[in-house]
Structure 1
Amino acid sequence: MSLIRRIDLRDAGAGSATTDYRAAVPRADFDIEAAVPAVHAICEEVRTRGLDAIVEFGEKFDGVRVDDIRVAPAAMQDALDRLEPDIRAGLEESIRRLRATCANELEQDAVTDLGPGARVTHRKVPVGRVGLYVPGGLAPLVSSVLMNVVPAQTAGVESIALASPPQKEFGGAVHPTILAACALLGVEEVYAVGGAQAIAMFAYGVGPCRRVDLVTGPGNIWVVTAKRILKGQVGIDSEAGPTEIAILADDTGNAAYVAADLISQAEHDPLAASVLVTTSERLAAEVEAELDQQVAATKHSERITTALGGKQSAIVLVRDLEQGLDVVNAYAAEHLEIHTEDAAAWAARVRNAGAIFVGPHAPVSLGDYCAGSNHVLPTAGCACHSSGLSVRAFTKSVHVVDYTAAALAEVAAHVVTLAEAEDLPGHGAAITVRSTR
């Protein structure tokens, strides 16, 4: 019996028939609304009881009591001093590549002169203070430190706070590799706080942590739900759910590569989605055989088997690559790999994906760590309207309007007319007073 099911869409959407491909490739159950009551209660406790509530929730959910939630700078430096040289080298190279791509994302002010003395400037301004969340549950995601911090620093954010769950294994400290990455990047404000209580701490400003303007970073359903509840109180990047990979492949695809890439994302979480969309029954069969071999030999085989066997994972058969393109655009995956002949041409036609990986030598794992791209990406189909984390997420736009008296006079009659059309005479009076006083 195969570890992963098949869905046959080859007859779907043929002729004049229409098919909802997004519904045809289901996702894992990730019911934020069901978690709202419990998470709302946590956020209210943090808002009303402050630090005491944070400490109690840490003891309850993380299994360790941490009374002093702020990490001492010396602890971060010590973690960096103890970091294995090869891990440090990997982090430094990832930072170097990410800084380069982030620098190219910086937007310049756009100045438009609409006439003599009439100027509008579209100014990009960095957010003042951000709270960055780094998960530490099934795996300490040190790479997420980089993916959050580097674009924030490149954008010019002046105040950065970071939170990650306390680790029972390390006596309530944040995972040492995460602390080392913070020290490497010069982040000095770090909190041993996880889950919904961390998001509430950022949003309300609790204990030693001042309120932030924006919260970014991935997390479990508790974190995601807290971001939804508190996004009126604080800005958020997205509501990122379980990770997912889709692969579009024809009969040129390498089954060993495809299987390894499906496994790489299934390794994250039992709810992770691994989807292969292919025109080739032969490739489908070879991938199934590779999955059997590779999963048996990997460390987290139980977690991976659960993810591959879930309803959110499948091998989807399509009649041709045109239909396959329709399927992956409808699915709007967090990560999309293209394993086809002329992969770049097919990738150029993809409209909906958090990130696109072109050809056999650009696996998602590369993007997770060292491609120079960001791995904090929209999930659950949100790539049809949302983007991944970037420098732009840490900036906001401000229009600066600069008109002289002559420039105002040139357009004054139009403003007064439009104000009267909306029955807002005070708006018009604010124009005419400038020509009579």
Structure 2
Amino acid sequence: MADLFDTGPAPDTAPRPLADRLRPQALSEVIGQQQVLGPEAPLGVMLANGTLGSLILWGPPGVGKTTIARLLARETDLHFTQISAIFTGVPDLRRVFEEARMRRRQGKGTLLFVDEIHRFNKAQQDGFLPHMEDGTILLVGATTENPSFELNAAVLSRAQVLVLDRLSLTDLEHLAQRAEQALGHALPLTGPAREALLEMADGDGRALLNLVEQVAGWKTDHKLDTDALTARLMKRAAQYDKSGDGHYNLISALHKSIRGSDPDAALYWFARMLEAGEDPRFLARRLTRMAVEDIGLADPQAQPVCLDGWQSYERLGSPEGELALAQAVVYLALAPKSNAVYTAYKSARAAARKTGSLPPPKHILNAPTKLMKDQGYGAGYAYDHDAEDGFSGQDYFPEGQPRDAYYIPVERGFERELKKRTDYFAQLRRKRNQP
């Protein structure tokens, strides 16, 4: 039976895109991905031992997910069926499974390749499980999103996740050379222009072959330089999904560069996100969070700098306002770091959840009525302004709860001064509470 969405082979006279003509015919021809295809890598070991199991191929576009799945079916003599989660509904899935059952009764197994598998909902993903378990299908799913977030735990427990990397410039150069051999001539580009072409592909082999095909079709009697190339071609848009992995990976890189006090790397990731179309307001919010989480009272000016930069952006708009945010990025990166308040806050919240029903000690409760006074409210309260050094040293924790120290200032920035104060009050507290 025909695969879903398979329109049959194109006539021999039909033009075929370069990417289709150069599709590898064996796993040994796949460029890159040796971390999964090498002799000691997961797929190499599986194939050598004849123990291929269900797989999830996770990686960016154009790195060979579909090609690898097709070649795995060929290497294991399985029928290859390809579907896309974007176009496939429940009736289509039922038909695929029924066709696979019929093949199995005839002694032929099925490798079901599901492109964009993360787009199936939970119920649809659950529908694969019985057919994976009874051997009706060997599932190979492809996704550009983190499987940990997008796929059911039940599916992940029955499949091995293999991570495919974006192609390196060396990989792309090998692919370009293979394309030139197929075309029968070299690309009309200078060395720097050729490097620029590879960079335009941004790690995507399919995108590179499409660019090569365009360049190869130009009529020119001399080699084109970088300016001529970029004038004729548009740079491929960077892979970036504001709700996907790219978004979270880049904001993580920005956050950790700031935490690591590297203003140059921080500016780079900040610029990468802006170039990809990120909302500057999201960045302003995250910068403010970094100020209170990673810098805190080590530099009390960090938070106002972020808020001022945020307000400046709102008043100026893009692109001028983005400079104010860049200023905040540099300030945060160079500021002394402390998460002492953040850590103290989390510890206090944990203690509050544990002992949340304990009342305050009566000596710090107000007594606006006679009954409350009779109950001891306010009795024994020491007014700190009347105490020596303006400090009474009384215990303000609930009765019966041991005193704990949540806030431990660090010896950096302004918190160095705050540590002197906490040590001073701790010393006075011990002095006041001596018998």
TM-score by length of 2: 0.28
Q: Which has the larger radius of gyration?
A: 2
Considering fraction of residues, name the structure with more helix: 2
Which has the bigger relative contact order, CA under 8 A and spacing at least 6? 1
TM-score by length of 1: 0.28
